[in-house]
Amino acid sequence: MFTRLTLLRLKAASLCVVGIALAAIPLSAAEPKKPNVIFIAIDDLNHWVGYFGRNPQTITPNIDRLASHGTRFTHSYCAAPVCNPSRAALLTGVRPFTSGVYENNDDWRQVISEELPLTTTFRKAGYTVKGAGKIYHGSYPRRSEWDDYLANEGSEPKPKGDTGVGGIKFAPLDCRDDELHDWKIVQYGIDELKKPHDRPFFLAIGLHKPHMPWNVPRKYYDMHPLADIKLPPTQPGDLSDVPSAGIAMARPDGDHREILESGRWKDAIQGYLAAISYCDAMIGRLIDAYDHSAERDNTIIVFWGDHGWHLGEKQHWRKFALWEESTRAPLIWVAPGVTKPNTVCDRTVDFMSIYPTLTDLCGLATPKHIEGRSIRSLLENPESKWDSPAVTTYRFGNHAIRTERWRYIRYNNGDEELYDEAADPYEWTNLALDPNYADAKEALKQHLPRHNQPDVNISTTR
């Protein structure tokens, strides 16, 4: 079982031995200091961020300020549109179709050993590795990977009365910013940045908002008056050309039907925008601390969202699908001496690039098991040639291939979707059955994985 991963563990173990031996060799005075890393993860933040231009209602001055420090990617995609498999893949370098980690209830620790993750690679290289908040999915922590981790985020106030519509939870809170978990998580990061450091550090800060419930202080709701809220672009009958497998993921008779019947679609949009604005305020606190840090000029920042989110597009809510809204999320890099301020990269990348890019930038050996490529060349020159599409997997055998022009979806039952993103950015016209696009579809198929590992929950019980 998991023959490939077993081999990968052996390879990783041999690399660790070499790494330990090298770590014992004294550094010469001339050897440059390794850069620090601030690793910022945001939960359920889609492309409703100012620099994307996707939704003009969003208010994200601090995330946009961070983007102006370095290079922002306009076409960046998750490995899976679900928290647990997305984070497990990004942090370990092992894609869902290799590990069998597809769902939130798949314990990735059972199939991915402690030698493989990003944190271990940095610790072996002499880094102090600390974290707070949601980095891995909260159900499956492995604290032994960390030198220190915020143990107690405290409790949060609950809304009184109305809490939303069905499973879509939103309501303003009459409380202060510092009464929510994310304030304490960011404060941990601020305190770490103020400390003196005798070793390079890897500092991971994971914010919960805008994950539901969208319960944030009322002032953030007031920033988005309900009377001004506009619904996302939709089209009647949008699912009429979507195959059965896609409709099953959309679940139009679930959340979307409840929202329509309630008449509170705009209220839900307001809640999501408010939660984003609260998240943005917390990022502002962290970036202020970074800007005043003595380590600023030797510290890399990577900022990413674990996946996107639908708010009624294609009659779908939440993530759990393979369309643009659920797979696209922000990616920002600030790398002193590599990125240039306020640069934009329109190349299509996925988040499997984060692990190898960090090791590349920090001068560390990239482990052989990594299923992703460094994007350092794009950080140095955003116009560089790039020919690797983004690959997103949701559950067993379902994949999306995204290039700069196309999105191709192939479901496990053989159903297909094809969208020309240049002409159809909201994916309203499925071209998969149009013979005029057969060549484009065939080229995209070449990027589908050749093997799909069974779900870990099935595999580990055999």
Lowest mean pLDDT among 22-31, 104-113, 411-420: 22-31
Residue written as token pair 């039952």: 413
pLDDT-derived band at 4 (thresholds 50, 70, 90) equals very low
Q: How far apart are CA 97 and CA 100, in angstroms?
A: 6
**CA 81 to mean position of chain CA atoms:** 9
Residue 15: what pLDDT?
Answer: 44
Residue-wise pLDDT tens digits, 203-260: 999 999 999 999 999 999 999 999 999 999 999 999 999 999 999 999 999 999 999 9
pTM: 0.92
Residue partners of 301: CB distance under 8 A and separation at least 6: 37, 38, 40, 66, 69, 70, 290, 332, 333, 334, 335
Q: Which CATH number fits domain 33-382: 3.40.720.10, 3.30.70.3400, 3.30.870.10, 3.40.50.300?
A: 3.40.720.10
Residue 205 near residue 189, CB atoms below 8 Å: yes
With H, G, I as helix, E, B as strand and everything else as coil, classify residue 36: strand
Tokens of 296: 């600023």
Q: What percent of the chain has pLDDT over 90?
A: 91
Residue 311: what pLDDT?
Answer: 98
Residue 320: what pLDDT?
Answer: 98
| Average pLDDT score over residue span 372-377 | 98
| Average pLDDT score over residue span 384-398 | 97
Residue-wise pLDDT tens digits, 62-101: 999 999 999 999 999 999 999 999 999 999 999 999 999 9
Residue 118: what pLDDT?
Answer: 98
pLDDT-derived band at 290 (thresholds 50, 70, 90) equals very high
| Average pLDDT score over residue span 418-441 | 98
Catalytic residues: 83, 137
Element (H, E) at 229: none
Q: Tell me: pLDDT of 149 over 80.
A: yes
